[in-house]
Amino acid sequence: MSPAQAPFRDRFDGGRALALRLGAFRDRHDTVILALPRGGVPVAFEIAKALDLPLDVFLVRKLGVPGHEEYAMGALAEGGVRIVNPEAQALGLTDQAIAAVAAAEQVELERRQALYRGGRPLADLTGKIVILVDDGLATGSTMRAAALAVRRHSPARVVVAVPVAAESTVRELAREVDEVVCVMTPEPFVAVGLWYTNFDQTSDAQVRDLLHQQGATA
C-alpha cells in the first residue's frame, strides 16, 4: 500500500476514528485516558476531546535489539516494570546486554516523565477505568509493559485502544487486559507506519502542547 492510500491521514485522524469505537465511555467520571508517548498522544488527544475525558501520559520505552534498535526485545514502563520477550534469549543476548539497554532507556523515560509532567504525579488510578492509547501495535511489547504497570495501581478495568494493530498481537493482549478496541487489523501487517499517510515523529513540544490543551500539564 502506498502512503497516499493509507486509511489514516495522520495520528489525529486515527484518534478520531478510534473515538467512534469508544463512545460508551463518553463523559464517564470513572474513566481516564493514558497515552503512550510520543506517538500515542495525538491519538489520545482526539479521543479525550471527543469523549470529554481526562488525558495524561504513561511513560513506556521500547527495548531495542542492540544494532537493530527498530526491533523490540522488550519494554520498560514507569513504576519499574520491565518485560523481555522470549525471543531475546534466542538472539543470544546476555543479561548484561539487556540490562545496558534497559539502563539507557530508563534515563530517557525519566527525562520524558519530568518534561511532560513537570513533577506532577500520575493521577490516582484506583478503581478507575484506564484506557491505554497508542498509535498502533506491532509486537505489543510496550503496551504489555504499560498494562502490567497500570495494574499495580488497582484500576477497575484496563482497556487498550489503538487505530491499527497486528491481529495476532490483539489476540494476545486480549488475554491480558479487560478489552482491546482497534479500528483495523490488516494482514499482512508489516509496520504501524504503513497505515498512516503522515507518520512523522511526534516531538516533545507537540506532546507538551497537546497535554496543555487538555489541561494535563503541571
Kind and range of the H or E run holding 149: helix 141-151
Query: What single DSSP character describes residue 138?
Result: S
pLDDT tens digits, the chain, 218 residues: what are they?
Answer: 544 468 999 999 999 999 999 999 999 999 999 999 999 999 999 999 999 999 999 999 989 888 888 778 888 999 888 888 877 667 778 889 889 999 999 999 999 999 998 888 888 999 999 999 999 999 898 899 999 999 999 999 999 999 999 999 999 999 999 999 999 999 999 999 999 999 999 999 999 999 999 875 43
Name the residue with cell 490488516: 186
Furthest C-alpha separation in the chain: 49
Q: Is the peptide bond before 11 cis (omega within 30 degrees of 0)?
A: no
- Coil vs helix vs strand at 22: coil
* 150 located within any domain: yes
* 205 located within any domain: yes
| pLDDT of the residue at 15 | 98
| pLDDT of the residue at 216 | 59
Give the residue numbers spanning the domain of 135: 3-61+120-213
Instruction: Look up the CATH number of the domain holding residue 144.
Output: 3.40.50.2020
Cβ atoms of 76 and 145 within 8 Å: the answer is yes
* 177 located within any domain: yes
**Any idea how long the chain is?**
218
Cβ atoms of 15 and 200 within 8 Å: the answer is no
What is the distance between the alpha carbons of residues 114 and 38, in angstroms, rounded to a whole number? 14
- The number of domains in the chain is 1
CA 215 to chain centre: 20
Residues contacting residue 52 through CB under 8 Å, at least 6 positions apart: 26, 27
Indicate the pTM of the whole model.
0.90
* 89 located within any domain: no
What is the distance between the alpha carbons of residues 144 and 84, in angstroms, rounded to a whole number? 11
What are the grid coordinates assigned to 216, written together?
494535563
* 191 located within any domain: yes
Cα separation of the two ends of the chain: 41
* 155 located within any domain: yes
* 195 located within any domain: yes
Q: Is the peptide bond before 188 cis (omega within 30 degrees of 0)?
A: yes
* 90 located within any domain: no
Considering only CA atoms, which of 35, 45, 1 is closest in space to residue 193? 1
What is the distance between the alpha carbons of residues 122 and 92, in angstroms, rounded to a whole number? 37
